[in-house]
Amino acid sequence: MTTILARLIGVSVLGSMVMVSFALTGLLAVFTLLEQVGELDQRYTFAAALIYVGLSVPRLLYETLPYAILIGALISLGGFALRSELVAMRAAGVSVYRILGFAMVPALVISFMGVLIGEYLLPDAERLARLERRQATSAIEAISPEYGIWLRDQSSFLHIESMSGEEMTGLRWLVFDSAKRLIEVRTAQRAKFVSPVEGIPARWQLFDVSSIEYGLKETRRRQDERDVWQTELTPEEISSELLVEPSRMSIGSLARRISALDKQALDTSKYQLGFWVKLLQPLTALGLLALSAAMVFGPLRDASMGLRVFSGLLLGVGFKFVQDLLSPVTLVYGLPPILAVLVPTILCLGFAYHQLKRVA
């Protein structure tokens, strides 16, 4: 009997979650397309807008999964309650927590699918989407922020005017020694990435290079037509830094970025926030699932389908509001970024436990 109940609840909850996930993703995709249509011109065509929306689908799917779990569980478990099947299950000796456990299995499946999407599909799709859109809406086929790009490479700070594919233009290094004294200013008109071949590591080929070295007693100038720049920075890392927000980077990329910034004694809080949001997404999903179960066994037991969906949307908006409120708070006041993820989830689990304890 337990196996039959587990399969019945699991299939029903999984089907509802998948349906809601596709519905939310499709709805947001339509809204995104309508937003892009308002920016169409001779360069940014409808076909380019469709490509941008298509590449944005992994992001939309990933961002809606927790709320699809919440609303899907409300619909499925609410249907069982409306048909008095939950009452029959409990009369047969199945506890509330066991029913919740049966529902957690598909929620975990959906959540871990989201982790895979966020790790392997979302970062590249998001980078390509933003790159295609920027190139389609700009007369310049390059990433060219208003004030350029600032990066740190070991003991030097690098400013880049623009980047296109595997080439950069307008490079300027400020090199400091261990005493934080400026010892060299170096410039290059252009840099082209050279992939590693036959044991030769990756490197950047520099063109029209000039440098000024500031010694204790004299200043030396040097001019070269070409030079080589050895660094761990790759075109993908630089473009991801420009185009992909930390919350949409992969867990591996975030971990590497945090490690690199720690070595340079730089602030890592926004990357830590993105890291914990992505790493703890399964726990967040379980918190929202528990919240939906508490609502079904409590206030929404006899509610209609429309009211349950509406309540799920309100709960999801409230959860996101709390999370979005805590995120800048942790960054501004120097609190551990993990709190922005754990506090809303703990509130959901605490309310769910209190509510389920009353009806258990």
pLDDT score of 68 more than 70: yes
pLDDT score of 48 more than 90: no
pTM above 0.85, yes or no: no
| 141 pLDDT tier (thresholds 50, 70, 90) | low
Q: What is the per-residue pLDDT across 119-129, written as a single tens digit (0 to 9) for each?
A: 889 888 888 88
Q: Which two tokens stand for residue 48?
A: 């380019």
Q: What is the per-residue pLDDT across 314-355, written as a single tens digit (0 to 9) for each?
A: 888 888 888 888 988 888 888 899 999 999 999 888 988 888
List Cβ neighbours of 91 (8 Å cut-off, separation of 6 or more): none
In terms of average pLDDT, the best of 4-13, 39-48, 132-141, 288-297 is 4-13
Radius of gyration (Cα) for the chain, nearest Å?
26
User: Which of 109-123, 140-154, 182-196, 215-229 has the lowest average pLDDT?
Assistant: 140-154
SS3 of 93-138: CCCHHHHHHHHHHHHHHHHHHHHHHHHHHHHHHHHHHHHHHHHHHC
**Residue indicated by tokens 């595997």:** 166
Q: What values do phi and psi take at 147, rounded to 5?
A: -110, 20
CA dihedral 120, 125, 126, 131 (to 10 degrees): 140
Q: How are beta strands 219-229 and 167-176 bridged, if at all?
A: unpaired
Q: What values do phi and psi take at 132, rounded to 5?
A: -60, -40
pLDDT score of 159 more than 70: yes
283: burial class by Cβ within 10 Å (0-12, 13-18, 19+)?
middle
More reliable by pLDDT, 279 or 215: 279
- E-strand stretches of the chain: 149-153, 156-164, 167-176, 182-194, 203-214, 219-229
Q: Across the beta sheet with 219-229, what order do the strands follow?
A: 149-153, 156-164, 167-176, 182-194, 203-214, 219-229
Full DSSP string of 143-177 = B--TT-EEEEETTEEEEEEEEETTEEEEEEEEEE-
Distances (CA, A) of 274 to 25, 109, 162, 259, 285: 21, 22, 26, 14, 16
List Cβ neighbours of 235 (8 Å cut-off, separation of 6 or more): 163, 165, 166, 193
* Length of the chain measured in residues: 360
CA 81, 85, 90, 94 torsion: positive or negative? negative
| 55 pLDDT tier (thresholds 50, 70, 90) | very high
Cα separation of 91 and 41, whole Å? 64
Q: Which two tokens stand for residue 64?
A: 């809606």
Which residues partner with 220 through β-bridges?
213
| 91 pLDDT tier (thresholds 50, 70, 90) | confident
Q: What is the per-residue pLDDT across 96-116, written as a single tens digit (0 to 9) for each?
A: 889 889 999 999 999 999 999
pLDDT score of 140 more than 80: no
Average pLDDT, the chain: 85
CB 354 within 8 A of CB 347: no
Cα separation of 79 and 76, whole Å? 5
